[in-house]
Amino acid sequence: MREFAFELSLCASLESEREAVLSRQLGAAVHGRRVVDVLLVDPGPKFDERAAITPESIPDAAIEADVGPGRARYWKDAFDCHPDRAERAMEAACERGFFERERRGGRTYVRQATRYPDDWFCDLVAVENKPDLDRPGDLERQLRTDVALGLADRVVLATASHVTGAHRNRIPDEVGIWRYHPETGEREVLREAEPLAVDEPGIEIIEEHPGRTDVRVVSAERKARARRRLAERAYGKGWRTFDQPPCARCAPDGDGVPHCEWKGRAVRASDECGADCDGHEEAEPADVDADGLRAERTPWEPDPDGRARRQAGLDRWG
């Protein structure tokens, strides 16, 4: 089982099982480099308030900016980051309805259109996919990094392999283990994940060398900001971020996952489909309403009231 097909099947299955926001392939590091395969964001008490703002991610720099819902501020005075990053964040926040802007004397002033609800998400569950444990790659180091940093509330390993005692010995005790069968959608919880200390400082493993490991301490405050940024990216991105193949032999299944009848499995259009494939038959890619599927099956809101209000008032800023 290729990891891409395994990952999409698992996402579709989890989406049908639980009321959460799912996303894939997200940067989950503070100082180093780490990409989490799948992230589940469990809604918190103020999830509806967040969903009412925008279906897209709100830039972290805009959330951190010294901009409130009261008096408008000159945007350049409100940000404590590089001017280019500040301008991108300001523009995105205005486009997505988090900021409102007005012009005074040739300058742009901004205020929050709505307060940001800090408690919109609860737990973050990071899932590392490794269908074949006989080809572990950097699995052990990746999981040790996740546990030591403690950015997610829980970390889980998902595999299609039979899990032996030797496998378990290479996996940190805090990591949960799922055995997932893509053919049937059955998921066995072989070991429950232990809660990580997300409210405490963490240790981020940056690089490992023979006899030496480079690490950085991450404060609890920095972790909280990174968790919020991770949740925001997941909310805006979702997991159906793949293209449909331009081939007559490929068609989306009921979850919108591209399935190739010639290969007999899900395929990634970007590197498996095209003239180099012996089974390729040129055709227009299938039209899949990914947003519609996501809205139907998760608490994500594609067209909130806040967005409609913003669109109605766009002529004010012409």
pLDDT in tens, 260-318: 999 988 999 988 888 889 999 999 999 999 999 999 999 999 999 765 444 444 434 33
Rounded-to-integer distance, Cα 175 and Cα 146, Å: 9
Contact 201, 184 (CB under 8 A): no
Domain 3-47+119-237 is found in CATH 3.40.50: no
pTM for the full predicted model: 0.91
Picking from 112, 123, 119, 69, the residue whose alpha carbon sits closest to that of residue 90 is: 112
| pLDDT tens track for 131-166 | 999 887 789 999 999 999 999 999 999 999 999 999
Contact 204, 145 (CB under 8 A): yes
Contact 78, 88 (CB under 8 A): no
Query: Which residues, in sequence order, are CB contacts of 221 under 8 Å at separation 6+?
Result: none
Q: Report the chain (318 residues): mean pLDDT per 10 consecutive residues.
A: 89 96 96 94 97 96 92 93 95 95 93 94 97 87 95 97 93 97 93 97 90 91 97 98 94 95 90 88 94 97 70 40
Question: CB-side exposure of 37: number of CA atoms within 13 Å?
Answer: 22
Rounded-to-integer distance, Cα 149 and Cα 33, Å: 12
Two structure tokens written together for 228 = 């919020």
